[in-house]
């Protein structure tokens, strides 16, 4: 039996005496490897979640801004409501933006609310990566641009604006 144990130890690279010295090292190796793999994975999940939240906000903001503009009595009133909708959509996702800076509306005809005309609404912003300090944001490109586009059609049976 002793010869079998010695032979198995030499085949698998361990003698019976070496087992006492290695006890507990598997736990340390597991924790080290887990830490090296889990920290980048968690950061990746946080980053992708933040970018996806900004994508959802920009798509919803563009759609609602377009709807608000085509339903407004005047283009100025619709533009003010659209800017508020953009700010609200991003605030719901925890991102602070300026509605005036993030919103661009292009009219197909003049005046904008001519029945049957189209208004192209574009919403965009840049999302910063989580955990990056301010001094690094200035030095490197650590922002991901996010944008959405929506085409709103003014109702064909709408009253012609004066």
119 assigned to some structural domain: yes
Q: Which domain holds residue 82?
A: 19-153
Instruction: Report if residue 86 sits inside a domain.
Output: yes
The whole-model pTM stands at 0.75
Q: How many domains does the chain have?
A: 1
Domain assignment present for residue 12? The answer is no
162 inside domain: no
Q: Is residue 106 part of a domain?
A: yes
Indicate whether 66 pLDDT > 90.
yes
Position 75 pLDDT exceeds 60: yes
Joined together, the tokens standing for residue 124 give: 């965009």
For residue 13, is it within any domain? no
Residue 108 lies in a domain: yes
Specify if 4 maps to a domain.
no
Residue 16's DSSP bridge partners are: none
pLDDT of residue 161: 66
């Amino acid at each position: 039996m002793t010869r079998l144990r010695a032979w198995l130890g030499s085949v698998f690279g361990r003698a019976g005496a070496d087992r006492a010295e290695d006890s507990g090292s598997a736990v340390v190796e597991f924790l080290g490897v887990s830490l090296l793999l889990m920290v980048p994975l968690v950061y990746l999940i946080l980053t992708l979640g933040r970018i996806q939240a900004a994508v959802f906000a920009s798509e919803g903001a563009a759609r609602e801004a377009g709807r608000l503009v085509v339903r407004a009595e005047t283009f100025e009133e619709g533009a003010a409501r659209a800017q508020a909708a953009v700010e609200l959509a991003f605030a719901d996702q925890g991102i602070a933006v300026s509605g005036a800076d993030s919103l661009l509306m292009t009219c197909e005809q003049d005046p904008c609310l001519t029945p049957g005309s189209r208004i192209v609404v574009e919403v965009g912003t840049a999302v910063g990566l989580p955990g990056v300090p301010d001094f690094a944001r200035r030095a490197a490109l650590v922002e991901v641009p996010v944008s959405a586009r929506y085409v709103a059609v003014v109702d064909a049976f709408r009253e012609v604006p004066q």
